[in-house]
Structure formats: C-alpha cells, structure tokens
Structure 1
Amino acid sequence: MLGLIKLYTVPKYRRMMKAVAKDAKQRGMGTFDFMETLNQEDMARYLTPPLKPTDVARFGLPADDDITEERLLPEPLRVARDAYRAGEWQPGADLLAGIGTDWDRRSTAVSVLSKAAADDDTALKAWRAARPDDADAAIVHADSLTEVAWQIRSSHRASNVSAEQFAGFRRVLEQADEACQLAADLAPEDPTPWEKRCSIAMGRQYSRDDFREVWAGVMERDPLHVAAHGRAMQYWCAKWFGSHELMWEFAEEGAAKHPKLAWLPLAAAFEMWAADVKNPWQDKRVEQALDTLLPWLDGDGRDAPEARDSRAFAARALVELNRGKEAIEQFRHLGAHADGFVWSYHAFGSVHEFRKIRSRACRLAK
C-alpha cells in the first residue's frame, strides 16, 4: 500500500482517497477497512485522472491492453508446470533431473512447481509416494509448504490478520523449515534448501546470527546464487530485520562478486523509494550498477533465468535517470509481461505500474 504521507499529500492520490472514503462511508466502513476489500483493479478505478495513452507501437512495444502480470516461463518449464497442475509429476521430475547443478535454473523451476503444488498437491503426493527419498520431490514439498504458509497468513497488514491465521502461518512455516532440512540431508551439495530457508527465516523471525548460519549454508554451496541474494537482501532491509545501511552494504558486496548480481544496488534503490526516501535512484551506485549490468544482459546474461527481473530493475532505474531510449530497449525484451518484482509494490497492481513506467520511458525517448 502507498505510504500514508503520499496518499494524503500528492494531489491525485488525495482525490483518490476522498472517493474511497466516500464509498467506505456509504457502506458503514472505515476507509482502510474498505480498501482491504478492494482488489488491484478496483483500486485503479479510483485513480483520477487515468493514465494517458501513449503511442507504444511507435517503439515496437505491445499495446497497453495486452500487458499481463502472468509470468513468462521457458517452454520446458511451462510444460512441466501445466502437467503438474493436471496431476502429472513425471515431466517436472524429468525437468529438475535435467537441470542438474545449474542452481539458478533449479531454484526457478522449484519455485514454479511449488506454487502449483501449494494450490493442488495431487501430483506432489504421487511423486513422493513413488520416490520417497527423491531430493527433488523433497525440496518442492518444502517450498510448497512455505507457499501455503503465506497463503494462510495472507498479504494483509498484520492488524487485519487473525490470531488463527498467525497460528497456522507459524505452524506450517515450522513444517517447511523441517522439510527443508530433510531436502538438505538428501542432497548435501544443493544450495536450494538453504536458499528457501532464507525466506522461511524472515517469516519465523530468525535473529541476525541465526540468519547468518542459514546464509552460510547457501554460500558454502553456491556463493553466486541469484535468488538467495534476493531473499537475503530482503532480510537486511529496514522493513524486515536490517536497516538501509545494512541493505546497501549487502547489495554492494553482492554486486562486486559477479555482473549477474549487479541488479542488487538497483533493488536497494527501489526499496529506498518504497520507503519514501528522497531521490534514491540518483545515488551514484545505481549508475555504477547499470554500467555493469547492461553489458551483461546484452551478452552472457541474455538468456539467464534471472534476466527478466534484472531487466525490469534496469528499465525502472533508466527511466528514473531520464535515459528513456535505453529503458525502451529493456521494455522490448520484457514484452507484454509485467512479471518483475519491481512492478509488484504498487497499490494498483503490477500491470498498472509497468504501463506507467513504460509510458514515461516512451515520453523520454521522444
């Protein structure tokens, strides 16, 4: 949700809040209680004036109406996920076996299959019954429990989460932690269980020392693990268990390791923006990160599993730095999918935010 200061001081948001408050009063509800009942499309309708249309076709970009928040997946992973949803576990098992020790791709595949299993565990149960000691099935099970735990908690503010929901959240997260340990025992060389535990650690409110133990487990197995760095940076954010200083320190250390981690300072600037810090994108570390990240995306990183999220962060940063033409190039790669983390913080949804920033890029490029 947008910060309260922004909601009541920026004119367009102030108008929006007046309209929301009026409708809430008619329903006998408080403004923020009413807002909790609205989905992203409902909220977007309150924003006046609406986004002005931009001639995106001029830049070879998909039309606004074609933008979707659905995740764009490589064909083999999409096929495996769809089979999994249909109750067939073998394609997913074959995919993970074929990925082998490509840890970044393995993490992505496990996440996709675990989300499907959290919605329907038919295929997972059959897989585990057929192969009870399969490390691949074990880690999908562990990560699916994490997904279920967050579904129980919901994405609402803590004040709107019931005691029963919190109890269920904690109970299932504890099960997920134990399942990750089993997966780690079955595949001692695999960093994936340790990476997934980084997320569990936030939900279970691990102390900094306890979190560092989990982090060490990842680093011993893959010191360049992309998803793990993303999860860990969230832990070190001020909104969780760190601070702006600790977050930036972690981001800079990660970016110095390899170009595929150069998106971390961009993510740090994004978190600062979300915390209403003034001009975070103008930090010199943002431009330094872009200088490293953009050549990598044009070269060795073009087809990397983390490339889409990296491009989304790059597109946002480039727009904020008034580098519209370069941002347009990243949007061409992103196509019609607003599936990057950087679009997800907006009250009106990923599609709205993607279109808004893309429209700014087009105006700059003119």
Structure 2
Amino acid sequence: MSRTTSGIPGAVPGTGPFFDPYDTLPELLPLRTAARAGDWAAVRAYFAALDSPEQVSFAVGLLAEEDGVETMLERAAAEHPADPLPRTLLADRYVRIGWAIRSDLRAEHVSQDQFARFHAWLRRAEQLLIEVCAQAPWYAPAWTVRLITARGLQLGQAEARRRYDRLSAHHPHHYPAQTQLLQQLCPKWGGSWDAAHGFAREATTAAPDGAHTGALVALAHLERWLDLDGPEAGAYLRGVPVRDDLRFAAQVSVLHPDHRPGWHWIGAHSAFAMAFSLGGHFSDARRHFEVLGDRASDFPWSYLSDPRAAFVKYRKSALATI
C-alpha cells in the first residue's frame, strides 16, 4: 500500500507536497498534452483507453479546467453529435467558466451580475447534458456534471437526488457523483447535517469493501468543521464519536486490503489525513500520510489558508507518533 515520490518526475523525496494532479499522477500527462494541442483524436483515444467510469469522470473534470479547451470541444461536439464524450466535456468546461465568474465565495458576497453570467453558462451546460442523458442514460460522467449544474442553478434537494438516483441505477457506487451530491446535501446548499452525514454513512456501508466511498465520511465531517467557528470547530473534530466514525470509514475503504487506488486515492487519503490531523488524532493520520508521501490533493486541503504549510506541519506531527 505504501507509495513514494518515485512516480513524480523530478521530485526529490521530502520536498512536497505536490498538489498538481499532473505531477502526482503522471499517467495523466498525455491528456493535457493532447488538450493543449487541440488534438481531439488524441483526447478521444485517451478516454477510450480508460477502464472505469470513475476514471472517465476524473479525467473529464481535469480536462475541463484547461483554459481555452472549449474551442476544440465545440468543434468536436459539432462533428460527433452521437458521441456523449465531447458534449459532456464541453458542458463541464462551461460549468468551470461559469463558476470562475461566480467565485467560491458564499452567496451573500457574489454580485447579481456575477450570478447572471454564472447561471447563463450553467444553462448552456445543462442543455448539452439534457441531450446526452436522454440519449445515453447510462453515461455516468454526464450525470455527475448535472449534479453540479443542479447545485449551481439552485434546482433543489429533490432534483439533485433524482439525478443521483438516475446515475446510481447504472453505477451505484460512483464516487465522483457521490462527492457532488454530498456538497448538495450540506446546509450551505439547502441541505442539513443529518442528510449529509446520513448519506455519507449509508453510501459507505453499501459500498464494496475497499471502495473510495468511505472518504465521504471524512469530507462530511470536514464540511461541518468548516461551518463552525473558533474553539467549537476544533472541539468537534477532537470528539471521540467523530474519531471513531473516521476510523471505521477508513478501515472499510482506503485502508482495507481490497482497496484499489484508481485515481481518487490521493483525494481520499487527503480527506482522512486532514480530518484526523485537525482533530489531533495524529496516530490515526499517520497511515494516510505514509501512503500519500509527497502527494496531496487540492481538495480538501484548499479549505485551509496555507495548504502546503498545513500538510507539512500535520505530516511531521503524524510521522512522529509511534
């Protein structure tokens, strides 16, 4: 299970963390190269070689972050109208453009003009995704992005659940979609803590041993921690019930002998490492830092003001435990 920085080109052990997925997962580099070259044939060939819907959703989200890639994707979507991939990629790219306009600030800090432009981009994405999901209702990446548009367009809890249920009928443990629904179920998007924690625990219990799904438990606790203020936040994660909840979720997911890393392992271990560390449970965090080595994921570490410094600090404390 242990990993080192040996797979990170040019990395010197102990100099991390490295947050860029193209550094931590170098097998993704051909995708970026093809996207930046505007080479749709190479992009399509890359996706065709992926062996799971989770990998496809991961790669869709990554490519959608590339500035200017919409030019290639608009052309590909027009030239290949029966293929769900280019329209899904284009929709996700439109979502990223819109969300950059909106920003990640709470709603009260976003202007009406920002909201108007944000929603316009999301409606363009939604129209593409409606067509894809009608033609290919089994296509997990499109439903995953539709969970994001549902949240951004404020379509409500029931609609988000409906979309997730449509996806889960074909892919019952699709981790990328589960992380999106978890966001919707948090109070900041109209949900409740009971709903968020309940979904995380139910999904973890239902998932096969070794699935990434257990990380939802850690993410739910981190969301709740983020919503608290001052000493109350630290006390929450230090609590024994939270610690035990995290321990169980870790044991049945990323620490289980049947765990198969895929491309979400860095984010899943990061969620546990961060949650355990913020609660002062460094002996529990140690296992996750040992697996991560110098790798880290932007989310959820980006919730901290200085992700790199926090990772280094908490890793040092965790590795000092016996």
Shift of 1:326: 4.7
User: 1:177 corresponds to which residue?
Assistant: 126
- State how far apart, in whole Å, the 1-side matches of 2:36 and 2:72 are: 7
Please tell me the residue identity of whatever aligns with 2:317.
Answer: R
Q: For the residues of structure 2 that align with 1:148 and 1:263, how far apart are their CA atoms?
A: 28
- Alignment-mate amino acid for residue 35 of structure 2: Y
Work out whether residues 247 and 284 of structure 2, in 8 Å CA contact, stay in contact via their aligned partners in 1: no
SS state of the match for residue 67, structure 1?
Answer: coil
Q: In 2, Cα distance between the equivalents of 1:161 and 1:239?
A: 14
Rounded Cα–Cα distance in structure 1 between residues aligned with 2:153 and 2:279? 38
Residues 129/341 of structure 1: CA separation in 2 closer, same or farther (3 Å cut): same
> Residues 250-289 of structure 1 correspond to what in structure 2 (within 5 A)?
250-258=199-207, 259=209, 260=211, 261-276=213-228, 277-278=232-233, 279-281=235-237, 282-284=239-241, 286-289=243-246
Letter in 1 for 2:149: I
Runs of 5+ unmatched residues, structure 1: 1-60
Residues 141-156 of structure 1: pairs in structure 2 closer than 5 A: 141-156=90-105
Give distance in 2, aligned partners of 1:274 and 1:286: 16
> Counterparts of 1:283 and 1:219 in 2: how far apart (Å)?
33
Aligned residues: 301
The one-letter amino acid paired with 2:46 is L
Per-residue CA shift, 1:235-280, capped at 9, x if unaligned?
1111211111221111111111124211122112111211125433
Could you tell me which residue of structure 2 aligns to residue 225 of structure 1? 174
Instruction: Name the TM-score, length of structure 1 as normaliser.
Output: 0.74
Q: Per-residue CA shift, 1:152-200, capped at 9, x if unaligned?
A: 2123444543332211101111111111112213322212211111111
Alignment correspondent of 1:32 = none
Counterpart code for 1:337: R
> Alpha carbons of 1:302 and 1:189: their partners in 2 closer, same or farther (altered >3 Å)?
closer
Equivalent residue for 2:288, pick from 322, 326, 330: 330
Q: Percent identity of the aligned residues?
A: 25
Q: 2:301 touches 2:307 (CA, 8 Å); kept in 1?
A: yes
Read off the aligned partner of 1:350 and give its amino acid letter.
P
Residue identity matched to 1:300: D
SS at match of 2:254: helix
Secondary structure of the residue aligned to 1:99 is coil
Instruction: Decide whether the 8 Å contact of 1:308 with 1:340 is kept in 2.
Output: no
Deviation at 1:135, TM superposition (A): 1.1
Query: What's the CA shift for 1:335?
Result: 2.9
C-alpha contact 1:233 1:251 (8 A) present in aligned 2? yes
Distance 1:231 1:325, change over 3 A: same
* Residue of 1, 13, 17 corresponding to 1:67: 17
Give, in whole Å, the separation in 2 of the partners of 1:322 and 1:68: 23
Q: Distance in 2 between matches of 1:343 and 1:226?
A: 19
The equivalent of 1:361 in structure 2 is 318
Deviation at 1:324, TM superposition (A): 3.2
- 1:323 Cα deviation from its structure 2 partner: 4.7
Q: Which of the residues 343, 346, 364 maps onto 2:301?
A: 343
The TM-score normalised by the length of structure 2 is 0.84
**Pairwise CA distance, 1:296:** 4.1
Structure 1 position 292, deviation (Å):
4.5
In structure 2, C-alpha distance between the alignment counterparts of 1:201 and 1:155, rounded to whole Å: 16
Give the superposition deviation at 1:345: 0.8
Q: 1:284/1:146 Cα in 2 relative to 1: closer, same or farther (>3 Å)?
A: same
Q: Which runs of 5+ in 2 are unaligned?
A: 1-11
- Change over 3 Å in CA distance of 1:295–1:171 after alignment to 2: closer
Q: Which residue of structure 2 aligns with residue 352 of structure 1?
A: 309
The correspondence for 1:108, drawn from 54, 58, 66, is 58
SS of the residue corresponding to residue 64 of structure 2 reads helix
The CA deviation string for residues 72-111 of structure 1, in whole angstroms up to 9 with x for no partner, is: 45444221122202221222211222225x2111110111
Alpha-carbon separation, structure 2, partners of 1:243 and 1:144: 29
